[in-house]
Chain A
Amino acid sequence: MANIKTSEKKSKAQSMGMHTEVLTGRTQQKFFNPDEAENFYYFGTYDVDFNKRTDLDVMNMSAPEANKEIDNLMSQGYGTIVIKNPQGKHSLGVGILNKLNLIFEGSLGYFGMGSCDGPIVRINGRVGWSCAENLMAGKVVIEKNAGSCFGAAIRGGDLICKGSVGARTGIDMKGGTIIIGGDAGAFTGFMMQRGRIIILGDVGINLGDSMYDGTIFVGGEIGSYGSDAVDAELTSSDQDWLRRKLKVAEIGEDFDVSKMKKIVAGKKLWNYDNLEPTEKKGAI
């Protein structure tokens, strides 16, 4: 098991510019110690060679069969796998806890790439609802559009959609970055807790509704703000970060980030530091 220790001084991650949100109240700031990397052990992972490449045609496979075969190929050391004929099937590529280059030649249905930790994925098509839900680390790039609940509850990694996405993008997200090249639907960033969402196009109603924390950047028009979502100043470091991210994401590199809007939590709904009603009675 990896060591978890409470940070007492500025961690390596922080010195790299990550984890910039200041956490207050009862929350505790805990990070993995990168110096302990050799002690990390992930169950069900394999040593793979990115130069060892193979194709997998899933036309006549069910999702569990296809996912088992991906796992089998990784166990044989294949580090680059090209999936042919996904045909909009649901739950493809879920639960991959490995470094892996995974390429889908076609579209996925619901829950594609759910609960993954580490793979670099390119989907040359569209994805249905709840793509990359619970993503922990890695990068998922979708060349076309995505359905609703895109990147629900992700904790890390980069999730990029070059087209437009449906409603509730980044709902309940706890970290990582979501980048949208087109428009996004209603309730984008609903109840998000950390992380960042970048939308180059327009966004629907109730943006950032009940967000706890995190940041949303919007390049186009905003349908309406949700409860407790407020504007914030777009700083020069924000702009630098946006340019870097858009470049790495191969999306909107020439986009004028200086005109983007920055939305954060107003924190009027926060009650972490308030006493519970019973505690209040005791205090009185």
Chain B
Amino acid sequence: MCGIAGLIHRGKSSNVGSELQGMLQALKHRGEDSTGYALYGDTDGKNFIMRFKVGENVGEGSSSVMEDVSVYDERKKIVDQTLSEMGAKIIKEERTLPYSLRYEVDYETKDLLDFSQRIESIPGVEILSMGKSLEVIKDLGNAKMVCDRYSLDKLVGTHAIGHARMATESGVDIKSAHPFWGYPFSDVSVVHNGQLTNYWNNRRVLENKGMRFMSECDSELIAVYIAQKMREGASLEEGMKDSLTGLDGVFTYFVATKDSLGMAKDTMAAKPLVLYESDDLVAMGSEEIAIRSVLPQEIDTYDPFDGEVKVWQI
């Protein structure tokens, strides 16, 4: 089933980590195999923030194979060495969990394709997000468990999207969890509720164009599809509108960039979405109870129509 939620504050920052946790926890009945956050925090914008993993969570329900922590250490060492070879300087390093790391990196480039390809050529290493503001945090369990594990409740920023996952077509692991980074674009992330039926056809086409897929989760296609459209010169909104015909199946998805948040709904309107919109705040989710966790008072909400695409700026 899966549940998605997102919010964007316009003209101010707020405690988006805590707010999104509340929204996703309200949707936990839609799936708690894994939960993911894409948080756009307040930063000075100088350095890249790279969230990456060197292994998988092999807790209860996981479909991953247990590895020794020394393997993670070895992979981390190779990442550090590769960064150094590329001239990227690690400004700050955090290792929240043995398999999950956060680096602030001083790296002078706008093309992250080569950068990402070199890092991800290290076996077992996957970049979860790369950006000047974006941080993707995803792990097994419900929203509160992931929030507590990574201490996300104090993160202040302008906007965020998230996903509560019930695994159906791919494994219970971090690599199949949402949100997906819009590789290789800085600060682009995607969450999706639905099924895509032309996943393999689109994947083959996009791989031939040099795009990479890290999982077999159909939702990853949306991130890669839109990233490719943007690579070809389309705006975010143009890429999303194109996806309504380019992607086949049923879907409601959110895309976020450094300064915007968008939603798209398939032409059958088969997947739910409830939307609240005001001058200060846009909040949306698979169910109204998600919005109620941040706006408990009586509010006016609505369901976007079939084939609708909307984008909001901060």
Partner of B268, one of A145, A146, A167: A167
A266 within 8 A of B: no
Alpha-carbon gap, A167 to B52, bound state (A): 40
A163 within 8 A of B: yes
B contact residues around A107 at 8 Å (CB): 288, 298-299, 301
* Contact yes or no, B305 A87, CB < 8 A: no
B contact residues around A165 at 8 Å (CB): 303
* Contact yes or no, A166 B289, CB < 8 A: no
B contact residues around A144 at 8 Å (CB): 300-301
Q: Considering only CB atoms and an 8 Å cut-off, how many residues of chain A contact the other chain?
A: 29
* Contact yes or no, B298 A166, CB < 8 A: no
**Chain B, range 9-57, C-beta contacts under 8 Å to A:** none
B269 within 8 A of A: yes
Q: Considering only CB atoms and an 8 Å cut-off, how many residues of chain B contact the other chain?
A: 21
* Contact yes or no, B289 A89, CB < 8 A: yes
Q: Which of B267, B287, B303 has the most CB of A within 10 A?
A: B303
Residue of A nearest to B300 (CB): A144
A contact residues around B270 at 8 Å (CB): 167
* Contact yes or no, B269 A167, CB < 8 A: yes
A contact residues around B305 at 8 Å (CB): 166-167, 183, 185-186, 204
Alpha-carbon gap, A148 to B301, bound state (A): 13
* Contact yes or no, A147 B306, CB < 8 A: no
Closest chain A CB from B89 CB (angstroms): 48
Closest chain A CB from B71 CB (angstroms): 45
* Contact yes or no, B302 A186, CB < 8 A: no
**Chain B, range 268-314, C-beta contacts under 8 Å to A:** 268-270, 272, 274, 287-289, 291-292, 296, 298-303, 305-307
* Contact yes or no, B306 A205, CB < 8 A: yes
* Contact yes or no, B287 A109, CB < 8 A: yes
A106 within 8 A of B: yes
Q: A88-B287, A107-B288 are contacts. A128–B274 as well, Cβ < 8 Å?
A: yes
Closest chain B CB from A157 CB (angstroms): 22
* Contact yes or no, B288 A166, CB < 8 A: no
Q: A88-B288, A88-B292, A89-B289 are contacts. A126–B268 as well, Cβ < 8 Å?
A: no
* Contact yes or no, B267 A126, CB < 8 A: no
A129 within 8 A of B: yes
Alpha-carbon gap, A144 to B276, bound state (A): 13
* Chain A 155-181 per-residue mask, 1 if CB under 8 angstroms from chain B, else 0: 000000001111110000000000000
Across the A-B interface, the 7 shortest Cβ-Cβ residue pairs: A88-B288, A167-B269, A166-B303, A186-B306, A145-B302, A88-B289, A147-B303
Instruction: List chain A positions with a Cβ less than 8 A from chain B.
Output: 87-90, 106-107, 109-110, 125-126, 128-129, 144-148, 163-168, 183, 185-187, 204-205
Given contacts A88-B287, A147-B274, A186-B267, 14 further A-B contacts (CB under 8 A): A87-B289, A88-B288, A89-B289, A90-B289, A106-B298, A107-B298, A126-B288, A147-B303, A148-B272, A163-B302, A166-B269, A185-B269, A185-B303, A187-B269
